[in-house]
Amino acid sequence: MAKSSNTIFFCKECGYESSKWSGFCPACSTPNSMVEAPKAGSGRGRLNSGNPLSQARPVSLSEIQNENQTRFSTGFEELDRVLGGGLLPGSLVLTGGDPGIGKSTLLLQMCRHMALSGRKVLYVSGEESLSQLKLRAVRLGEFEGDLRFLCETDMDRILEILKEEVPAVAVIDSIQTMAAQSAASAPGSVTQVRECTNMILNTAKSLGISVFIVGHVTKDGAVAGPKLLEHMVDTVLYFEGDRHASYRILRGVKNRFGASGEIAVFEMLGSGLKEIPNPSAYMLSGRPENASGSVISCIMEGTRPLLLEVQALLAPSAYGQGRRTATGVDHNRVALLLAVLEKRLSLGLSDFDAFVNVTGGLKLSDPALDLAVVMALYSSHKNKSVPDNLMVFGEVGLSGEVRSVQLAKERVQEAARLGFTACLLPKSSLSADLNARGMKLIGVSSIQEAVSIL
Ligand code: TYD
Ligand code: MG
């Protein structure tokens, strides 16, 4: 197929550019994600004209004036923490997530708070009508102060209004519905999404407006995903969680003004989102007592320790070959840990079905969960329960050794805070400063030692 030279191929997911089409993206390996779009020729020149950096010259550090930029609160303490201690004027924040997860609700609640505390706020929606916005707003409480709404999808008009009004904070919900005249393609296409974000970026930075951009995560739909924009914005937040469960996790994936990897946990109620300041207690609520196959472990999300329950069930298989099913933890990791258990503890597990589940619907990759998975499997196999007041963490190696993990102190402290009185942990993580009041620390160096406490 001969292609004219004034078009180029983009990956809808990550924005990778190529002059040739291919069946999957060479950069992120997503199949069928390459789409054809016009080369950004005429549009590009215009983009730079408004850029204050185009006349730049080199300066030394001492010449740089630190305008005293004070961060301000979004009204959610947890969100402030994910942002690195509040919102900086002029910063661009991308909020991604599946449709219906609660992005618009979170941002509207944030706008409400900031208007209440005396800031000028503009909420631009390209998805909902004014009456739909009002329906949502009445569920969230009283609104006061300078918060105004605009239903518009024309980017040029939005920028005009931003320049006229100069709000302190603006929300663009969502970037995939916006269209700029200069990019001659459909809303939601790679070219449009990039062009619109670039236009917002220039305006927001020059006027000092903090902008929240909403981006839908799409599986393989016709619109470009928010990944494409990650390198253009200052901060990237992803809203995750099971749409059917009530809690939501907001994860900071990138942050130019603070630590990334921080999370905030929210609960979706009838009157909007409520932050959960104590997520460990929330995750552990309703756990069974004295049940075999249930073990409490601690993972780290950014700097935040989170206690959760690992459940395992080993049941004789109906068909000779045992099935392995894992939810929340990597399937291959579970297979590996089962093999280690079989080999090092001489257990015959091949004709058992094994199910491992981390409650709460989280997807975890912290290796500190290994020892808890091993203990849960063993406890289910022997039908002996793990003591209720015991918290377990540690990485397990192929020879059955228990290896140290980072931030052991934070994990032990979190367990002590929630009333646990004993901790099973890698021997190599034991140190003098670990001692939390009233906490019994059991250091082990192999899984044989670990299971012997049962
Ligand atoms: P929404 O913020 O519209 O999601 P997004 O903008 O990410 O697409 O949230 C929609 C869901 O949240 C919807 O299923 C209804 C629910 N919801 C509540 O449970 N309570 C509330 O107070 C509100 C406003 C929404
Ligand atoms: Mg929405």
What separation, in Å, do the N-terminal and C-terminal C-alpha atoms of the chain show?
Answer: 67
| Position in ligand 1 atom list of the atom nearest CA 101 | 7
Query: What's the CATH code of the domain at 388?
Result: 3.30.230.10
Looking at the fold, whether 246 and 117 belong to one and the same domain comes out as yes
| Position in ligand 1 atom list of the atom nearest CA 105 | 2
User: pLDDT (tens digit, 9 = 90+) per residue, 47-85?
Assistant: 444 455 567 788 888 888 776 678 889 999 999 999 999
Angle at 37 between CA 36 and CA 41, to 5 degrees: 145
Question: Distance, CA 109 to ligand 2 centroid (Å)?
Answer: 13
Looking at the fold, whether 268 and 319 belong to one and the same domain comes out as no
| Position in ligand 1 atom list of the atom nearest CA 140 | 22
Looking at the fold, whether 295 and 401 belong to one and the same domain comes out as yes
Q: Is the CB of residue 215 below 6 angstroms from any atom belonging to ligand 1? A: no
Residues 6+ apart with CB under 8 A from 132: none
Question: Distance, CA 133 to ligand 2 centroid (Å)?
Answer: 10
Looking at the fold, whether 356 and 423 belong to one and the same domain comes out as yes
Looking at the fold, whether 369 and 233 belong to one and the same domain comes out as no
User: pLDDT (tens digit, 9 = 90+) per residue, 88-134?
Assistant: 999 999 998 888 889 999 999 999 999 999 999 999 999 999 999 99
Residue 106 counted as domain residue: yes
Q: What is the dihedral of CA 235, 191, 107, 232, to 10 degrees?
A: 10
What pLDDT tens digit does each residue of the chain (454 aa) get? 444 467 888 887 777 888 888 888 888 888 888 888 777 544 444 444 445 556 778 888 888 877 667 888 999 999 999 999 999 999 999 998 888 889 999 999 999 999 999 999 999 999 999 999 999 999 998 899 999 999 999 999 999 999 999 999 999 998 999 999 888 788 888 888 989 999 999 999 999 999 999 998 876 555 567 777 888 999 999 888 776 677 888 988 899 988 888 888 899 999 999 999 888 888 888 888 888 999 999 998 877 888 999 999 999 988 878 889 998 899 999 999 999 999 999 998 888 999 999 876 677 888 999 999 999 999 999 999 999 999 999 999 999 999 999 999 989 988 988 889 999 999 999 987 887 778 899 999 999 999 998 8
Question: Distance, CA 226 to ligand 2 centroid (Å)?
Answer: 14
Q: Is the CB of residue 22 below 6 angstroms from any atom belonging to ligand 1? A: no
The CA distance from 86 to 257, in Å, is 10
Looking at the fold, whether 332 and 432 belong to one and the same domain comes out as yes
The CA distance from 16 to 33, in Å, is 10
Question: Distance, CA 87 to ligand 1 centroid (Å)?
Answer: 23
Looking at the fold, whether 294 and 270 belong to one and the same domain comes out as no
Entry field: residues in the chain: 454
Nearest CA to ligand 1 atom 9: 102
Looking at the fold, whether 292 and 396 belong to one and the same domain comes out as yes
What's the maximum distance between 2 C-alpha atoms anywhere in the chain? Answer: 74
Q: Is the CB of residue 271 below 6 angstroms from any atom belonging to ligand 1? A: yes
Measured from the alpha carbon of residue 267, the closest ligand is 1
| Best residue for ligand 1 mutational test, from 176, 238, 268 (most atoms within 8 Å of Cβ) | 268
User: Domain tally for the chain?
Assistant: 3
Please give the residue range of the domain that contains residue 168.
71-277
- Dihedrals phi, psi of 310, to nearest 5 degrees: -105, 130
